[in-house]
Amino acid sequence: MLDFKIEEDKCIECGLCAQDCPVGIIELNPKPVIRREKEKNCLKCQHCLAICPTGALSILGKKPEDSVSVSDEMPKPETISRLIKTRRSIRKYKKENVDKELIQELIETAAHAPTGHNDNAVLISLIDNKEDLDLFRSKVYDSLKNARETGTLEKRFQFLLSYQKLWKTKGVDVIFRDAPHMIIASAPSIDASPMADCLITLSYFELIANSHGIGTLWNGMIKWAIDDIDPELRTLIGIPKDHTIGYVMIFGKSAVKYARGIQSEGLKVNRIKLE
């Protein structure tokens, strides 16, 4: 049941909801309606709710008055451009936790990232306090030590052993960079685009985190540890076996402050012209 409802006194029969429906299941009669036999085709994208100019339409128990309005002030393009251009990978963090309410807000914002076929199946595995991350960090370094002692570490990961030695002998944390928090995005492997869905979600998370002054670092080494070095780490943090891990990100309050952005060399562009 889609719980598709129209407040008739608000509906102006403009037809925008029907025109914008990706699967074309909304009909005008003369008010919008979805036939019961067509409900199964709904993508649950809520485009109909979003486009209704008078707030007459609700669906899936979602009411228009509970949505964020686009009539409020929006950031200027140059503001967003500056945020993107001044983003830096942070490798030095303050030894304190980020407020849990702020972390929750960041995740709720990242939940608006698009996903293939609108599956919305990305799972966020989160360590939101430095005490638990300290424990997980120790597990990762112990896994590297065990792989070295048993000779099971693949050649391509041998360089990680020097980081394990630094941690053991000097307490220098190259892998986690002493960050207080970690977030992992995974999604069911059978989904249309699990890897892309995870990466887009983390990109949304990073941008909103950076706007709050929270530093982030995309961390492939932790992903290797979980995916390729010690499968028990996946079990430890509760990532389902049937999930693809998109990526791992560490985050926290930055201990460094950059004065300006870098000067990018730009992207290679293939301008396509078809005759």
Residues linked to residue 83 through DSSP beta bridges, in sequence order: none
Cα(250)–Cα(266) distance, integer angstroms? 26
238 found inside a domain = yes
CATH of the domain at 47: 3.30.70.20
> Are 85 and 56 within one domain?
no
Report how many domains make up the chain.
Answer: 2
> What are the structure tokens assigned to 22, written together?
């990706």
199 found inside a domain = yes
Query: What is the per-residue DSSP string for 31-88?
Result: SEEE-GGGGGG-----HHHHH-TTS-EEBTTB-GGGSPPTTS----HHHHHHHHHT--
> Are 142 and 38 within one domain?
no
Cis, peptide link before residue 53, omega less than 30° from 0? no
In tens digits, the chain (275 residues) has pLDDT values of: 899 999 999 999 999 999 999 999 999 999 999 999 999 999 999 999 999 999 999 999 999 999 999 988 899 999 999 999 999 999 999 999 999 999 999 999 999 999 998 889 999 999 999 999 999 999 999 999 999 999 999 999 999 999 999 999 999 999 999 999 999 999 999 999 999 999 999 999 999 999 999 999 999 999 999 999 999 999 999 999 999 999 999 999 999 999 999 999 999 999 999 98
Smallest CA-to-CA distance from 170 within 162, 182, 179, 180 is with 162
Last residue of a domain, one of 18, 41, 66: 66
* Pairing mode, strands 32-34 and 57-58: unpaired
> What are the structure tokens assigned to 102, written together?
């702020």
Cα(261)–Cα(89) distance, integer angstroms? 11
> Are 84 and 60 within one domain?
no
Per-residue pLDDT at 68: 94
- pTM of the predicted model as reported, rounded to 2 decimal places: 0.94
* Residue 31 lies in domain: 5-66
Cα(233)–Cα(25) distance, integer angstroms? 45
Per-residue pLDDT at 71: 87
> Are 18 and 52 within one domain?
yes
Cα(77)–Cα(188) distance, integer angstroms? 35
DSSP at 226: I
Helix or strand (DSSP H, E) at 132: helix 130-150
Per-residue pLDDT at 72: 83
> Are 93 and 214 within one domain?
yes
229 found inside a domain = yes
